[in-house]
Structure formats: structure tokens, C-alpha cells
Amino acid sequence: MSARHSNTKKKSVSLGSAEPSVEGGQIFTNVQTKSHQNHADKVDDADILEADPEMHSVNRGTRQQRNALVVVTESEQGAEAATCQYPGKKDQDRYTVQLSPDPALFPHYVGMFDGHGTSVFAAELCASQMLQQVLGGKDRSNTDEKPVTIPSDEAIVRAYRGLHDTVVDMVKKHPRTGTTAVTLFVGRDSPDSPVDKVKVAWAGDSRCIMVSSEGRVTQLSVDHSIGTNPEELKRVTEADHTPREGLLESPGWAIEEQMAMERGTRARAGSFVGRREINGREAGPLVVFAHSGGVSLQVSRSIGDALAARSVLPDPEIATLELPRGVHTRFIVASDGLWDVYSSEAAGKMVMEIPDPAVAARKLSLSARSKRTQMGRTIDDITVIVFDMNPAQPRLNKAASGVSGGSNRSSEKCVIS
């Protein structure tokens, strides 16, 4: 396997670090491939309901009631994907899965977008438009068009920037909307190519990992979190911190100055790295501030966030690798609802022996939910996508249920209290 990262500079793919005591909160017991409804919440078969296709969209994530867990599976020859969502309070995770009947003509695609702010506009826009923007409007159903194998780095960066500009242009309607993004493309140069080409691009702290057939877990993306990524901290610290145009003349800035003076501090007009305050004391992880009282973000890269610090960029980092064709390989793409409580290695090892992606996705989602509760964390949006190339046990007989993507699709709703 060969791999490279690109973001004007090359980086090596990093291995996920191990964490002790990460296997707590097991959800599944006596997991069976044929019937994967068993979990520690002891949901009876009577509680497994058929999901209403109108209530679930691959482009919008889930719009179910808060206590509904939705699993969606899709299959194509040589590929299978399953998505499991457990929405939190905001319900701002959105995703797209589109499997290809022929990766030599059109790539498999997985996109995960974890929205933040007061509007989900940025995440929904990316979920519905990213693939089209990256591929320049090419349609997999049009066989007369030139085949698309793997998009170039330039095309991906252009799409991320273009969607960012679209969100920023809507600042009057959606002033505080942004999203992380991680996109996975898998294709090949020709039908008889001996390798599958893989490209992962990301901005923010949604993550993609790979589990090899030998059981090796590789973290393909590196979180753009200002508190955990030294390179991003250095980049932001050395960025331009001059005040935004018009800030010092705005009525809002006069109010910020007055409030700072009353606290005995000085308002900062430029962006900076610091910690938020709770009851007058600094608390929590490092964040990037646009200015005192301005928008603050834990991620150092995102799409949207028009009012954030200018050092918060939409430009993705990109990793490219090749895999021997025909070998079973699993990718896990998820929002930080999972990665906040599980390391990449722990998540990969938890499901590497589970052949069914739907069982694996559900186990990771419910385990993350359970572990967040045990740790006293909020129930954040949790979205887990398990994508298998050359699955160990292909299941191509699932009935379609109105979810866009591969030719064989099914969905189910598991109600949990």
C-alpha cells in the first residue's frame, strides 16, 4: 500500500494511537450476521420498525424522532456500505453515500458533514452538492461522458472552496452556519487495473480510518482541531490577525469594549487562540476566536463560518493511496460523536471481526452513545458509516426502500428509549 497526503505539502498517513480502557460500554451481545438486532438496550424484535423512506434521506441524514436509531444499507457488486445515526440535540449531521456499479467508470463516494452553529444550511448544502461539484457535474448514469476514476486534488480543493463561498454569500440569511467535511473516493483507472485508488479529503474533525484484511487500523485523516493538531496551531498562530474590515466602526464593537472594561479586561479586535470563559474563568479546550466576543471554533478548518477567524480555512488536506484489488478493506467514516470517546484503533478493532457493515455501524454508534453517557458527556450527533470494499460476505438481495445510492438498498428504524 502506498499513501500520500497533500495540502501544498506531503504528509505521511498516521496510525491511530491506542487508548487504555476504551472497550467499555459494549452494546451488542451474541452478534449474529443473519439477524443483527441484538444490543444491550434489549430492543425486542417487535420494536424493529421499517423506516419511512420519506423520513430518511441519504442527503439529509435523519429527520426521525430523537429516540430513533436509523440504519441504512447499500450494496453494489464488490462494495457494501451501512450508515447508522443517533441524532443529538441539534441533529446537524448530514451524509451522502453513492456506490458505483463500475468503479472504472465512476468512483464510489462517501461524504460526512458535521454541521455546527445555529443553522444546518452548510452541512445540507455540502451533502447535496459536494459530489457534483468535485466531479464537475458529471453523472454516473451518462455512459457517453468521459469516465471519472478518481478526482484530482485540484478538483476537490476547488469544490470545498466553492461550497464555502456559497455559504458565505448567504451570511445575511445564515450568519452562523458551518460544517466539517470528510469525503472518500474509491475507483480504478481501468476494468483490469490491479489496484483500487483511494482518496480521502477532509476539513475539520470528522474522521476516516481504514481497517485492512490483516486487522491493521490506519487513521487516514488528521483532525483539524486547534487543541490537538500542533501544525494547525502553528499555522493559525502565525496567520494574519488584523481586525476584520468594519469591525471597529460597528455598534457591536462598542458594546464589546464597554463589557470588557466592566470586567477589567481589554477587548481584542483581532483573532486569537484561547479558551472560552465560564463564570469569568477560562475553561474547556483551545478554540480560535474571531475577536473578543466573536465566533469561536474548536476546528481550525471548516466550510462556511462566515464570521469566524480568517485563519479558519475551507481548504482540505488530502490523502491518496492504492490498495490491491479484490482484497477486503473496511473504511469507517464518522463524525466526532464517535471520535470524542473512541480512538481510531479502538473503533477499528471493535468491529474488525464483524462481517456485516450494518451490525458494525450500529455497534459503533450505540457504543459511542453509551460511553458518552458513562463519561458524563452530552449526547452529540453520532453518525457512523462503514464502507466495505470486497466485503467478506456480500449481501446483494436487500430490498430497495427509496434511499438514493447503490442499486440495492434497505433501511430500518430501531426505536430506543
**Per the structure block, which three cell numbers stand in for 32?**
449474529
Same domain, 233 and 374: no
Give the amino acid at 280.
G
Query: Beta strands of 233-346 (E only): which ranges?
Result: 272-278, 281-289, 296-297, 303-304, 317-324, 329-334
pLDDT digits (tens, 9 = 90+) for 248-281: 998 889 998 998 898 888 899 999 999 988 877 8
Q: What is the domain range of residue 289? A: 225-237+268-298
Same domain, 129 and 56: yes
Q: CA-to-CA distance for 248 and 294, rounded, in angstroms? A: 13
Is residue 212 one of the residues assigned to a domain?
Answer: yes
Same domain, 76 and 98: yes
Q: What is the CATH number of the domain that holds 355?
A: 3.60.40.10
Is residue 258 one of the residues assigned to a domain?
Answer: no
**Per the structure block, which three cell numbers stand in for 327?**
482484497
Of 162, 217, 208, which is closest to residue 185 (Cα–Cα)? 208
Same domain, 291 and 395: no
Identify the pLDDT of residue 250.
86
Count of domains observed in the chain: 2
Same domain, 322 and 287: no
Same domain, 89 and 195: yes
Identify the pLDDT of residue 298.
96
Is residue 261 one of the residues assigned to a domain?
Answer: no
Distance, CA of 60 to chain centre: 13
Identify the pLDDT of residue 337.
95
Is residue 107 one of the residues assigned to a domain?
Answer: yes
Same domain, 291 and 329: no
Q: What is the pTM of this model?
A: 0.80
Same domain, 218 and 229: no
Q: Give pLDDT tens digits along the chain (417 positions).
A: 444 454 433 333 322 322 222 222 222 222 222 222 222 232 233 222 333 333 333 334 444 444 567 788 889 989 999 999 988 888 899 999 999 999 999 999 999 999 999 999 999 999 999 999 999 866 665 556 677 789 999 999 999 999 999 999 999 999 999 999 999 999 998 889 999 999 999 999 999 999 998 999 999 999 999 999 999 999 999 999 999 888 999 888 999 899 889 888 889 999 999 998 887 788 889 999 999 888 999 999 999 999 999 999 999 999 999 999 999 999 999 999 999 999 999 999 999 999 999 999 999 999 999 999 999 888 889 999 999 999 875 443 332 222 334 445 555 544 443
Same domain, 123 and 92: yes
Q: What is the mean pLDDT of the chain?
A: 80
Asked if 203 and 223 count as a contact pair (C-beta separation under 8 A), the reply is no
Same domain, 285 and 192: no
Sign, Cα dihedral of 121, 122, 123, 126: positive
Distances from the Cα of 77 to the Cα of 186, 189, 313, 390, 393, angstroms: 14, 18, 38, 8, 11
Distance, CA of 40 to chain centre: 26
Asked if 413 and 50 count as a contact pair (C-beta separation under 8 A), the reply is yes
Same domain, 294 and 323: no
Same domain, 233 and 165: no
Is residue 308 one of the residues assigned to a domain?
Answer: no
Length of the chain: 417
